[in-house]
Amino acid sequence: MRIALAQINPTVGDIPANLRKATDFIQQAQSQQADVVVFPELSIIGYPPKDLLLKPQFIDDNLSAVEQLAEQVHGIDVIVGYAERNRLPVGRPLHNAVAVIREGKVVSRHYKTLLPTYDVFDESRYFEPSPQQERNEVVQVCDTPVGLSICEDLWNDERLIPRRLYHQNPLADLEARGAKLMINCSASPFVVGKQDFRIQLFASQSRQFNVPLVYVNQVGGNDELVFDGCSMVFDQTGQVIAQAKDFEEDLLVVDLEHPQTNRRHDHARGLESIYKALILGLKDYVRKCGFTSVVLGLSGGIDSALVCALAVAALGADKVTGVAMPSRYSSDHSLEDARKLATNLGIRFYVIPIEPAHRAMEQMLSEAFAGTESGLTEENMQARQRGNILMSLSNKFGSLLLTTGNKSEIAVGYCTLYGDMCGGLAVISDVPKTTVWELARWINQQAGRELIPQRSIDKVPSAELRPNQTDQDSLPPYEVLDAIIYRLIEEDKSVRQIIEEGFDPETVLRVTQLIDRSEYKRRQMAPGLKVTSRAFGFGRRMPVAQNYRQTIPSDLGNKT
């Protein structure tokens, strides 16, 4: 059997475009003598469709698209993901489904059994699991009994999942029904390091059930999520015999009987994988939201420099505008470094000083502020004037405004609402500050020259909103801060557990309190691209008005 893995980049809700893309990939698969072509989960409508699924017309349009596709299919089997209505009178109204299409007809429909409701997933809001009477039926493809599953159905191996979330293993049921080949249609988002775990997990399942496994994943960026592709085929011993490209569309045709002829691409790891994910996520967000250009503020610091470099790599220098907005507190080297970055990257660059607006605002508020000390309010005033300038440029020229805050700052609220948080996409909001530095050095190393000015990498971070200000006036060293944030956010560890790992009790408590107090800011920030296991955004659902507070245990410190 020759199987084509159609690793496509669908746009959520653009059913006509997704249908055209599917048709094109089917034709390509046929030209390469494939017997069957397999598409990702919900590929007709794109993943995740969220509350579009609540619109009856949207479901009708998606069902019509499946029928239109079926009418065009001859000489090849097609397995495609879509949303099907639940025909039973009880339960949620939809199924997450795949259709098997053959010679102009849908010959069978198969429904997802395991519905994830953790992190960014909320499928039980929309979908009903596969009905018991229709569950785990195999389908004949090229005279081979094939077991079809959808994404999460593959993620319940008791030997590798620390705590199983489900009582059932759909693959075990398919094997019991006589499946000799497993095919899984997925939309599995990227997280750094995830692909290596996928290989371990899927290889284990292939060996356990002694059958080849085909895994077809979506690729592309949809809102906060980035899908890395990396579709794969395993033989019955768990060996990867074919792997598609990462972070780009691909049609991988695999010959199960002659595995030595198959393509096998390696996948990016570490910093390279984060870089590729950010590039793809940024490029697709801009394109799928209908923008053609971006604008961002350039402070001369490392965060804006990294975001600018990513934007140029994603969109091209002619689509990026950088704006330096010096104040009375800005150092000369900040403007020099911003200008040097713009020159190195070849982007359009403006210098718009905020001093006239700053003085005017001080004068306007002088009576109301009389008798008060100058402080944080006056500092934030400058950030908001910059945000106003950037939003004005965005409005005037139709460019998407990119925010440049990193995960460390956003975690502890070291950012200004309606100031540096203004924008349409928070590109590095899931990238810790220490990783920002590493990425900047990596980009220069890969380029073989200084794209990002070395001084921007080396200088002590500063918001430059008051004389001689540095980030470390307000925050712990970033190496310490990032280590604590990782434990609090990604590992959900308690104050006690982190202190017992050797961190200073007062520092741990302060960081915890800053994170808790800053939830209202994060609720209002732009969508951010997810690259870690736990990002701020819709996957982390913390209440704003809440009063749960941790303290330093009495046996570990004095403060309560």
Determine the 3-state secondary structure of 220 from DSSP.
Answer: strand
Q: What are 49's two structure tokens?
A: 């469709």
Phi and psi angles of residue 559, each rounded to the nearest 5 degrees, phi first: -85, 140
Whole-angstrom Cα distance, residue 502 to residue 511? 15
DSSP secondary structure code for residue 276 in this structure? H
* Catalytic member of 21, 112, 407, 521: 112
Whole-angstrom Cα distance, residue 120 to residue 124? 12
Q: Which DSSP string do the residues of 116-127 spell out, in sequence order?
A: --STT--GGGTB
> Which one, of 331, 271, 284, 334, lies nearest residue 304 by Cα?
334
Cβ-Cβ contacts under 8 Å for 421 (sequence gap 6 or more): 387, 403, 405, 415, 521, 524, 525, 526
Q: Which DSSP string do the residues of 420-465 spell out, in sequence order?
A: TT-SSEETTTTS-HHHHHHHHHHHHHHHTS-SS-HHHHHSPP---S
From the CA atom positions of the chain, what is the Rg in Å? 26
DSSP secondary structure code for residue 134 in this structure? G
* Catalytic member of 151, 308, 415, 422: 151
User: Sign of the CA dihedral 389, 394, 397, 399?
Assistant: positive
Asked if residues 404 and 294 have their Cβ atoms less than 8 Å apart, the reply is no
Whole-angstrom Cα distance, residue 540 to residue 118? 9
Active site annotation includes 422: no
Measured from the Cβ of residue 296, the count of other Cβ atoms closer than 10 Å reads: 26
Active site annotation includes 415: no
Strand-pairing partners, residue 7, are 250
DSSP secondary structure code for residue 76 in this structure? S
Pairing between β-strand 36-38 and β-strand 77-85 as defined by DSSP bridges: parallel
Asked if residues 386 and 325 have their Cβ atoms less than 8 Å apart, the reply is yes
Q: Which contacts qualify for 495-499: CB closer than 8 Å, 24 or more apart? A: 495/550, 495/551, 495/552, 495/553, 496/553, 496/556, 499/552, 499/553, 499/556, 499/557
Determine the 3-state secondary structure of 89 from DSSP.
Answer: coil
**C-alpha distance from residue 386 to each of 296, 334, 406, 419 (Å):** 10, 15, 18, 6
Whole-angstrom Cα distance, residue 399 to residue 93? 39
Q: Residue by residue, what is the 3-state secondary structure of 383-407?
A: HHHHHHHHHHHHHHHCCEEEECCCH
Preceding amide of 48 cis, omega within 30: yes
Active site annotation includes 288: no
Whole-angstrom Cα distance, residue 125 to residue 119? 14
Pairing between β-strand 225-228 and β-strand 139-141 as defined by DSSP bridges: unpaired
Q: What are 421's two structure tokens?
A: 């948080």
Asked if residues 385 and 354 have their Cβ atoms less than 8 Å apart, the reply is yes
Q: Which residue has the tokens 């356990």?
A: 208
Amino acid at 372: T
Catalytic machinery residues:
41, 112, 151
